[in-house]
């Protein structure tokens, strides 16, 4: 029996995932259905995390999902209605680390979020402009160095001053974030774990 695409992704069967995608696209299989299969596989990875899977497995799944999306994206119809919500994320000015952020982004896309990743060393004004243009439901900061705290605080202050905070949820992630940093920034959540961050984002938007 042919292995399901979702199972292949959850088991990191790279050859099966990539070849199945190519073959099904060539045969006219609806791209959105293939996307849902990939998302189901990423959900399965998340369910196995901290049971059978660990951080290295999240990294493997995120990388495989990214390569699968490179094949699938050109065929996808741009219908934002299929997304569960929008996340804007970046590593603030003063920090250039992105491993955790990249894992989070892949997992978030895998469960159905529309993600805009601003990259690393992002200045305050770029965050503000992106909030206005992208209109996310969630803003995420990723940081591994304490110098990133000051620009994060400046972004938060600007959001309030420009009346952009409203219903926007803010989550911070990275090895240096703590409950104290969350309180200092006035954020809605914090995490040091990508999968936990995904679960918090889903909770923010009332997604089970």
125-172 pLDDT, tens digit per residue, is 999 999 999 999 999 999 999 999 999 999 999 999 999 999 999 999
pLDDT at site 78: 45
Which pLDDT value is given to residue 184?
Answer: 96
| Alpha helix segments (H runs only) across 73-174 | 99-110, 124-134, 149-161
Residue 2: Cβ within 10 Å count? 7
- Looking at the structure, give the CATH architecture of the domain made up of residues 5-75: Orthogonal Bundle (1.10)
Q: Cβ neighbours of residue 1 under 8 Å, at least 6 residues apart?
A: none
Q: Using 50, 70 and 90 to split pLDDT, how confident is the model at 20?
A: very high
Q: What is the pLDDT of residue 2?
A: 61
Fold annotation for 83-204: Rossmann fold (3.40.50)
CATH 1.10.1240.10 positions along the chain are 5-75
- How far apart are the C-alpha atoms of 182 and 179, rounded to whole Å? 5
Q: Can you give the pLDDT at residue 76?
A: 65
CATH 3.40.50.280 domain position(s) in the chain: 83-204
Average pLDDT for the chain: 90
**pLDDT average, residue stretch 168-195:** 94
How much of the chain is in helix, strand and coil states, percent to nearest 5?
55, 15, 30
Lowest mean pLDDT among 110-119, 161-170, 177-186: 110-119
**Size of the chain in residues:** 208
Q: Is the dihedral of CA 108, 110, 112, 117 positive or negative?
A: positive
């Amino acid at each position: 029996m042919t292995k399901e695409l979702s199972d292949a992704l959850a088991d990191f069967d790279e050859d099966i995932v990539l070849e199945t995608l190519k073959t099904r696209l060539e045969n006219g299989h609806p791209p959105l259905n293939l996307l849902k299969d990939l998302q189901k596989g990423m959900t399965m990875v998340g369910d196995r995390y901290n049971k059978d899977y660990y951080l290295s497995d999240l990294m493997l799944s995120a990388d495989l999902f990214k390569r699968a999306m490179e094949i699938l994206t050109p065929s996808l119809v741009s219908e934002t209605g299929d997304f569960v919500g929008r996340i804007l994320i970046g590593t603030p000015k003063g920090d250039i680390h992105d491993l955790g952020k990249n894992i989070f982004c892949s997992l978030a896309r895998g469960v159905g979020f529309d993600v805009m990743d601003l990259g690393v060393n992002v200045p305050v004004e770029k965050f503000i402009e992106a909030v206005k243009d992208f209109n996310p439901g969630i803003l995420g900061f990723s940081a591994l160095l304490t110098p990133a705290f000051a620009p994060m605080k400046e972004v938060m202050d600007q959001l309030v001053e420009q009346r952009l905070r409203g219903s926007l949820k803010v989550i911070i992630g990275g090895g240096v974030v703590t409950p104290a940093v969350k309180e200092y920034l006035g954020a809605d959540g914090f995490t040091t774990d990508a999968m936990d961050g995904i679960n918090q984002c889903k909770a923010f938007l009332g997604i089970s």
